[in-house]
């Protein structure tokens, strides 16, 4: 994939921001200060689609957070995509988090699996299996399998994934975006060592999520 240059505003947001600003400007011309509510909407759109650059930690076997947000789950569960026992870490993104999704590891995309579903609150456990979702199966050069699942939320209606089978992703590289509140689940080898805990607030591409087995602790 072509590296994303990380402008101030995510490329997905420009059409939304342009519409919001134009509507607010027209309202300001005709209705003056009554347009303040629409300017507030434009500011919300601006903050939602911000996409700051991140400094990517270096080190063998590191797994990075694929999303900004709050950690909901850290524990052993079944990976429904690879049919294996796994360490699952879930991150919930509210509407005030950055919504760019970044690759947790250096690896080759094996499969991309889209599943239609509902739009429940992404903070609920059943959202992992019931909501619309898109799973990315990555394999590192050392042979570790990592499943990264984008999950739509209550108001999210669009999952964007730009990676496809055969693509090579670099750790911290941007591969997708979810609009307006959502969740990302990561399934790791069951003996991976977590570096986050439930309740932690994390940032994509810069916070270490876990360490893969077979590598010395960082």
The strand pairing partners of 74, in sequence order, are: 89
Q: What is the pLDDT of residue 10?
A: 84
- Please count the other Cβ atoms lying within 10 Å of the Cβ belonging to residue 186: 28
SS3 content of the chain, % helix, strand, coil (to 5): 20, 35, 45
Q: What is the pLDDT of residue 165?
A: 95
Q: What is the pLDDT of residue 131?
A: 80
Tokens of 217: 């602790």
Tokens of 66: 């694929």
Class of domain 62-211: mainly beta
Report CA-CA distances (Å) from 45 to 11, 50, 98, 204.
13, 9, 11, 20
- The whole model's pTM is what? 0.88
Burial group, residue 50, by CB count within 10 angstroms (0-12, 13-18, 19+): middle
Q: How far apart are CA 59 and CA 169, in angstroms?
A: 16
Active site residue 182: yes
pLDDT tens per residue across all 218 residues of the chain: 555 565 678 888 889 889 999 999 999 989 888 989 999 999 998 888 888 888 899 888 999 999 999 999 999 999 999 999 999 999 999 888 988 999 999 999 999 999 886 666 666 676 676 788 899 999 999 999 999 999 987 665 678 999 999 999 999 999 999 877 689 999 999 999 999 999 999 999 999 999 998 777 76
Given 100, 103, 128, 182, the catalytic residue: 182
């Amino acid at each position: 994939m072509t590296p994303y240059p990380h402008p101030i505003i995510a490329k997905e947001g420009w059409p939304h921001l342009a519409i919001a600003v134009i509507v607010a400007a027209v309202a300001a011309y005709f209705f003056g200060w009554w347009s303040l509510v629409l300017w507030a909407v434009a500011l919300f759109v601006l903050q939602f689609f911000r996409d700051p650059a991140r400094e990517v930690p270096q080190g063998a076997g590191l797994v990075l957070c694929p999303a900004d947000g709050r950690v909901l789950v850290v524990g052993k569960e079944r990976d429904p995509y690879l049919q294996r026992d796994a360490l699952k870490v879930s991150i919930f993104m509210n509407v005030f988090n950055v919504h760019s999704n970044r690759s947790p590891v250096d690896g080759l995309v094996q499969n991309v699996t889209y599943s239609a579903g509902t739009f429940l609150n992404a903070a609920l456990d059943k959202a992992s299996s019931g909501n619309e979702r898109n799973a990315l199966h990555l394999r590192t050069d050392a042979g570790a399998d990592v499943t990264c699942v984008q999950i739509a939320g209550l108001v999210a209606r669009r999952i964007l994934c730009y990676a496809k089978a055969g693509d090579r992703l670099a750790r911290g590289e941007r591969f997708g975006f979810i609009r307006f509140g959502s969740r990302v689940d990561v399934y790791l080898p069951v003996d991976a060592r977590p570096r986050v805990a439930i309740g932690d607030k994390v940032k994509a591409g810069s916070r270490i999520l876990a360490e893969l087995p077979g590598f010395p602790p960082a």
